[in-house]
Amino acid sequence: MVTRTAQQIWDTALGELQLQVSKANYRTWLEKTRALSYKDNQLIVSVPNTFVAEYLDKNLRSLIEKTLIGITQSEIKVSITVDNPDRLPEANPVHQGLALVNLPATANLTRLNPKYTFDNFVVSKCNQLAYAAALGAAEKPGLPNYNPLYLYGGVGLGKTHLLNAMGNLAANRGMRVVYASAEQFTNEFVNSLRERKTGDFRNKYRNADMLLIDDIQFISGKEQTEESFFHIFNELRDADRQIALTSNCPPNSIPSIEDRLRSRLEWGLTTGIQLPDFETRLAILQNKAEKEGVNMPPDVLEYIAQRIKQNIRELEGSLNRVVAYSRLLRTMVTPELAGEALEDIATKHPKTVSRPALLLETVAQYFSLETSDLKSKKRDKSTMFARQIAMYFMREQTDFSLASIGLELGGRQPIVVSQAHKKIATQLEQDPELQRQIGEIQQRFTRR
């Protein structure tokens, strides 16, 4: 038998769980989890917060364990741990029966994901500059030309992967690496204000040999956080400590950050990652299939690579999904089978994207309304509900931004769209009637 790492087992389990729970459930509770270790039949899974930990423990534990038993063919116990245990209220066991495990202090300090290395990053035309720059800066940190290193690109194109690869390489060489998403950075900063521990906060960051901040665009508009980052940035750069940042856009497109910070972000090397071409997508799939020991006919890999174009995370998710599907059906994988397994992903892209009007019409008809009602100012209960459902669908199934969804629906504010989406998504977790309705609308729409 091939020995599999904790993360490989967990990835396979996630692929199967994806088929067994609703999409919304999967996104909310499972997508952001990862496996930390697998020993003595115990799999330690880390989750982003206690809320998710409690939910998984209460509602999905038995399904998860059953799925894992199917995969490993042995009894397996799952322990759930929160990614960042230092934010847990002390002496407050989250939940009876929930095994909380403390991470070693270093893992907690760096939060690096060991899975992401330079070795397992597939290099091609679309990302070779970013790759070379990241590797260069990790090997010879602190050179002014590379400092800061600023990587930008769309969702799921490998920014977080490269940033972690830098951190892993540097940490292995004994450097003090501090890695945080800009969101974590912000939260820590806010907590430190509240607890009057801004000194500790600053020390943690300014003592870094290498500072890695993921999704830096997140701090835009958060003035105090930005200010604090600005000072840390200056200190580190003056001391020739390497700084690397990722973002969804180049520095000059980040909305509302101060000019003095913007110009500093441009001081070093800025490089973008482009969408992967077909050959790259195929190479990534081959790489992953091989690593996980799954035997997948070449035409199936090609099929998947042709189908998923925008996002490497989705590409990998699709492979997991196809593998899981064939395991469930116990049959050989063919491109047709892969097509079935990916059915709803296909309807999500790009066909749907060009059909927002049809989507609105489907929702309106389902509730015996006109599309114009959805766009109107009407505020009676049933129109408002239908409108929220429409927003939910637009958000889930198109690549439209919150703002453009708002525009499609009669010029509503992005925040309204985001609230509607959240409300429906939350309600969907526990409301079978709503699940039925959403399912029916989905079917009607898919058939059109």
Subset of residues 144 to 183 that bind ligand ADP, contact rule: CB under 6 A: 153, 155-161
Residue nearest to Mg ion (CB): 160
Task: Indicate whether 160 belongs to the interface with Mg ion (CB under 5 A).
Answer: yes
Among 257, 312, 319, 390, binds ligand ADP (CB under 6 A): 312
Task: Indicate whether 217 belongs to the interface with Mg ion (CB under 5 A).
Answer: no
Residue closest to 393 by CA, chosen among 432, 372, 364: 364
Rounded Cα distance, 230 and 162, in Å: 23
Q: Which is nearer to Mg ion, 33 or 160 (CB)?
A: 160
Place of tokens 């990302």: 127
Q: Which is nearer to ligand ADP, 121 or 393 (CB)?
A: 121
User: What residue 406 binds from Mg ion, ligand ADP, none (CB within 5 to 8 A, per partner kind)?
Assistant: none
Please report the DSSP string for 59-99 in residue order.
Answer: IIHHHHHHHHHHHHSS--EEEEEES-GGGSPTT--SSTT--
- Please classify residue 435 by burial: count the beta carbons closer than 10 Å to its beta carbon, then call 0-12 exposed, 13-18 middle and 19+ buried: middle
CB of 316 to ligand ADP, least distance (A): 5
User: What residue 156 binds from Mg ion, ligand ADP, none (CB within 5 to 8 A, per partner kind)?
Assistant: ligand ADP
Instruction: Locate 220 and state its tokens.
Output: 């835009």
Q: Which is nearer to Mg ion, 32 or 87 (CB)?
A: 32
Number of residues interacting with Mg ion: please give it, by CB under 5 A.
2
User: What residue 157 binds from Mg ion, ligand ADP, none (CB within 5 to 8 A, per partner kind)?
Assistant: ligand ADP
CA distances from 446 to 72, 349, 352, 400 (A): 36, 12, 9, 19
Q: Which is nearer to Mg ion, 311 or 365 (CB)?
A: 311
Task: Indicate whether 127 belongs to the interface with ligand ADP (CB under 6 A).
Answer: yes
User: What residue 316 binds from ligand ADP, Mg ion, none (CB within 5 to 8 A, per partner kind)?
Assistant: ligand ADP
Q: CB 238: neighbour CB atoms within 10 A? A: 8
Q: CB 189: neighbour CB atoms within 10 A? A: 23
Task: Indicate whether 168 belongs to the interface with Mg ion (CB under 5 A).
Answer: no
Task: Indicate whether 121 belongs to the interface with ligand ADP (CB under 6 A).
Answer: yes
Quick one: which segment of 120-128, 205-213, 219-227, 381-389 binds ligand ADP (CB under 6 A)? 120-128
CB of 313 to ligand ADP, least distance (A): 4
Q: Which helix (H) or strand (E) holds 289?
A: helix 278-291
Query: Contact 345/26 with Cβ under 8 angstroms?
Result: no
CB of 121 to ligand ADP, least distance (A): 4
Among 16, 83, 316, 408, binds ligand ADP (CB under 6 A): 316
* CA triple 336-342-347, angle to 5 deg: 115
Query: Contact 444/366 with Cβ under 8 angstroms?
Result: yes
Rounded Cα distance, 164 and 259, in Å: 28
Among 149, 284, 338, 342, binds ligand ADP (CB under 6 A): 284
Task: Indicate whether 30 belongs to the interface with ligand ADP (CB under 6 A).
Answer: no
The single-letter code of the amino acid at 321 is R
User: What residue 148 binds from Mg ion, ligand ADP, none (CB within 5 to 8 A, per partner kind)?
Assistant: none
CB of 215 to Mg ion, least distance (A): 6
Query: Contact 255/221 with Cβ under 8 angstroms?
Result: yes
Q: What are phi and psi of 271, to 5 degrees?
A: -145, 145
DSSP, collapsed to helix, strand or coil, labels residue 141 as coil
Binding residues for ligand ADP, per CB under 6 A?
Answer: 116, 121-122, 127, 153, 155-161, 284, 312-313, 316
Binding residues for Mg ion, per CB under 5 A?
Answer: 159-160
